Structure 1
Amino acid sequence: MTRTVRKVLLLVLFSALLAAVGVVSVVRAADRADDRARARPGGPAARSGAVSLDQPGRLLFRNLAWGPGRDMVASVPLGAPEEAARTTAGQDCLRFHAAAGTGVCLRRAGGVVPQYEAVVLDSALRPVRSFPVPGTPTRARVSPSGRLLGWTVFVSGDSYAGGAFSTRTAVYDTRSGALVESLEEFAVFDGGRRLRAADHNFWGVTFAADDNRFYATLATGGGTHLVEGDLRARELRVLRTNVECPSLSPDGTRIAFKKRVDGLPAEAPWRLYVLDLRSGAETELAERRSVDDQALWYDDTTLLYALPGDFGGDLWSLSVTGGGTPRLLLKSAVSPAVRP
């Protein structure tokens, strides 16, 4: 072996050693950063345990507190959600909702390339059935009876604010086993005129108590619309413009929604409103921050919604009358479901 060859081999070995040291340093630094994040003070206390979708008087949600239970479905008492230690189950979700002992969990499905699935959960949070979904989870709802499940994913884009996105919304009937893979299969009518456009996007399903009617957002032609759906007829009817992420009240007479308001920043354009379905009157709510969430009715007079927080998101509550002030209900929590 010549001196030149030995020098080249030594240089290659030295370069490889430096590269290995660099990789180890990066990994260790990432681990230390993650450890520091998980140890940040102020995070809510959480403990693993049994969580039931049937237990009355509970608030269920996706836990965002740092620790082993992050992203898990969690439960706290409705009466004192912030004071009680949260119980986390071994079911991780990116979006979650539940009603009448049935849950839907949108989660990662593994793989080098990100993949996601919608999972039907029983009352003990055991998976019953799963469906692959074609994009990033963004909305999930269960009908009051627990029979119907709806979910929305971003097929492209990752924000409702910019307008350059594509969504896919599905509805699953747990009783019949029928799956509507996309609401784009339904006929859409505005008055007596059928709308036919390639740019139809739907999101934010909310179900009525009859397990047939539902409401959702339709985006087309640069605007958003509230649509009322009929599952059996496979039809959608346009009701109103400038309505996004509808949420039907427990008595079925009002819809909470987010509305784009002129003059607000393009990245934060929304305010919360409540629409009376009988009179058509809108009530602007007292939250002055932009809410990019599908609000949930806590009861007949109060909404829950998520806003950005220290650990990803916090849950806030607000009166639907237009008065009062927003109240921080639960830190490090999103995707709520109420079991009265």
Structure 2
Amino acid sequence: MTNARAKLLVLVCAVAVLAAVATTSVLHAAARSEQRDVARPGGPTIAAGRVTLTDKRRIVFRNMAWGPHRDELTTVPAASPTGARTASGVKCLRFYAASGTGVCLQAVHGAVDSYRATILDTHLREQAHFTIPGIPSRARVSPSGRLAAWTVFVGGDSYAGTNFSTRAAILDTRTGTLTPSLEGFAIHKDGHRYRAADVNFWGVTFAADDRHFYATLATKGRTYLVRGDLRTRTLTTLRTNVECPSLSPDGTRIAYKSRDKGLPVDAPWRLHVMDLRTLRDHPLAEIRSVDDQAVWQDDTTLTYALPGDYGADLYAVAADGGGTPHRVLTAAVSPTYL
């Protein structure tokens, strides 16, 4: 065999060996990826499918289970929430919907990660999006679907601490008018105009008239429930020690978290419900610290997130202060009851 033919044979063999190694590596990586993407034993069953915001008697939420559908908007029947899940392919960090309009707070990955608020139609198609200035925290849509709101952290990383700043924005989806921050509204506190450099707002919840809303105001180390008016651009304080309010479907009560005395500094909250006519309230049967803006399933039951094996699980408790909390969904957060 000549030197040229020998060299050619060696080259062909080397190429074949390299190709085999590459193929093996790809198959091994694919197998590892497949193993990584399947649901954990005992975890929820999830498959891609059609998800809309008009399927009545269903729950839509952010799926937290590990696998190819993590962070996707996912749905289950409200009557059998532990059943098989249908995943949409649309990823959100925070989500809420009403009357066929959804607001999805998303991460935009790149050289420098950023975030945006995306408005979705009933088929989860993007209608508009807006860059947001920080980490997504809360999202709400008015009962009519016309108004959307979101809160983001722009400093710090938790409501539990004191070194943080938030921005709460409201969008009129019909006109496209965006209020990027409530800090431009006039504040009326204890019957007087109030001004301070340290005001923060979060946790918007809408009344049914597409004009009024409630939110949290923080200033001078205290928090307040405020009632907002989009027409007059005013905010009026109603009560202290109210965070992340959630208005009941009948518009008569506010569910919220308060910092109750005697609780640990890193777990300070207890869920309460307040009558808006009398401003009297009562604690709920959930005694664990809930760092969430609770969602009303209906006029009698509240749903909220607590830490779980996948990051978060959803629990429910009676709004009248009775009953026993129970887990509704594992590996889930940001629920909407359609």
Query: Taking structure 1 as the reference length, what is the TM-score of the superposition?
Result: 0.89
Residue in 2 that maps onto 1:192:
191
Matched, 1:254 2:253: yes
C-alpha displacement at 1:262, in angstroms? Answer: 1.4
Unaligned runs of 5+ in 1: 1-27
Residue in 2 that maps onto 1:279:
278
Cα distance in 2 for partners of 1:151, 1:58 equals 23
Cα distance in 2 for partners of 1:50, 1:269 equals 40
Residue in 2 that maps onto 1:110:
109
C-alpha displacement at 1:229, in angstroms? Answer: 0.2
1:209-249 CA distances to partner (integer Å, 9 max, x unpaired)?
Answer: 00000000001000110000000111100000000000000
Residue in 2 that maps onto 1:332:
331
1:89-148 CA distances to partner (integer Å, 9 max, x unpaired)?
Answer: 010000000000000000012222220000000000000000000000000000000000
Cα distance in 2 for partners of 1:172, 1:33 equals 40
C-alpha displacement at 1:35, in angstroms? Answer: 5.1
C-alpha displacement at 1:314, in angstroms? Answer: 0.4
Cα distance in 2 for partners of 1:48, 1:240 equals 45
Cα distance in 2 for partners of 1:284, 1:214 equals 23
Cα distance in 2 for partners of 1:38, 1:221 equals 49
Cα distance in 1 for partners of 2:241, 2:190 equals 17
Q: For this pair of structures, how many residues does the alignment match?
A: 310
| Residues 136, 41 of structure 1: alpha-carbon distance in 2 compared, 3 angstrom cutoff | same
Cα distance in 2 for partners of 1:199, 1:38 equals 47
The within-5 A match list for 1:1-340 is 39-82=39-82, 84-339=83-338
Cα distance in 2 for partners of 1:300, 1:34 equals 43
Query: Taking structure 2 as the reference length, what is the TM-score of the superposition?
Result: 0.89
Which residue identity does 1:98 align to in structure 2? A
Which residue identity does 2:209 align to in structure 1? D
Cα distance in 2 for partners of 1:263, 1:252 equals 31
Which residue identity does 2:264 align to in structure 1? P
Aligned residues: CA RMSD = 1.7
Cα distance in 1 for partners of 2:201, 2:334 equals 19
Unaligned runs of 5+ in 2: 1-27
SS in structure 2 of the partner of residue 299 of structure 1: coil
Which residue identity does 1:45 align to in structure 2? T
Which residue identity does 1:251 align to in structure 2? D
Q: Residue 37 of structure 2 contacts residue 68 of structure 2 at CA under 8 Å; is this kept in 1?
A: no
